[in-house]
Amino acid sequence: MTVNANTSDCLGRLKCELLSRLEAPSDFLAGSELPPQLARRRGQIGDTAVELTTRRYAGPVLESLTFASISDADNRCRSLTLIGFPRPGSPLPILGVDLIAFRGTLSLVALDYAPTSRSYWTEVAAPILEQVRKRALPELKLRKRPEFTRDAFSDLALIAASPRGNEDTACQAAWSLIEAYLELVKQS
């Protein structure tokens, strides 16, 4: 499998930025232990050796914030996933970020705030998602929305691919969505 340097650089920078933010001491988010067999797994994708690393965080308004990344034997990041579940009763949306680059390009960019409270989503989350989409869509290529997302994702979910050379746009869109979400969690 060949790796586009722009793709691996973009995902690697995003991974480092995200880990530094999540690992920083805060009053609204703390790491929680995962069993070793869930925290780190090694395997193969085709003929490429890979390692899946998973970390979990929680806080007063977040039941869980799970971060998973897949890297190859050369430590190049191939996939990033971040899922945030608010605690029951919280109006915060469910955060969904998925960036996948196994065949040399960023073939999947999935970004969403799935509503848990329609009014909060409409007033607070939707405008953030709309801004992220507005900035990213001229550079990304929309993908067909998978059927399984119909009842799980919001109507504004961004599901796209990044043409070569536009990887930074995709990573910046993901970072903007994540930063805004962490700020919503902090304010809650």
pLDDT band at 4 (very low <50, low <70, confident <90, very high): low
How many CA atoms, within 13 angstroms, populate the side-chain half-sphere of residue 107?
A: 9
pTM of the model: 0.93
pLDDT recorded at residue 172? 96
Q: What is the mean pLDDT of residues 94-100?
A: 97
Q: Shortest CA distance to 69 belongs to which of 98, 49, 44?
A: 98
Is the pLDDT at 2 greater than 50? The verdict is no
Is the pLDDT at 5 greater than 60? The verdict is no
pLDDT recorded at residue 7? 74
Residues 18-53 have pLDDT tens digits of: 999 999 999 999 999 999 999 999 999 888 899 999
Nearest-Å Rg of the Cα atoms of the chain is: 16
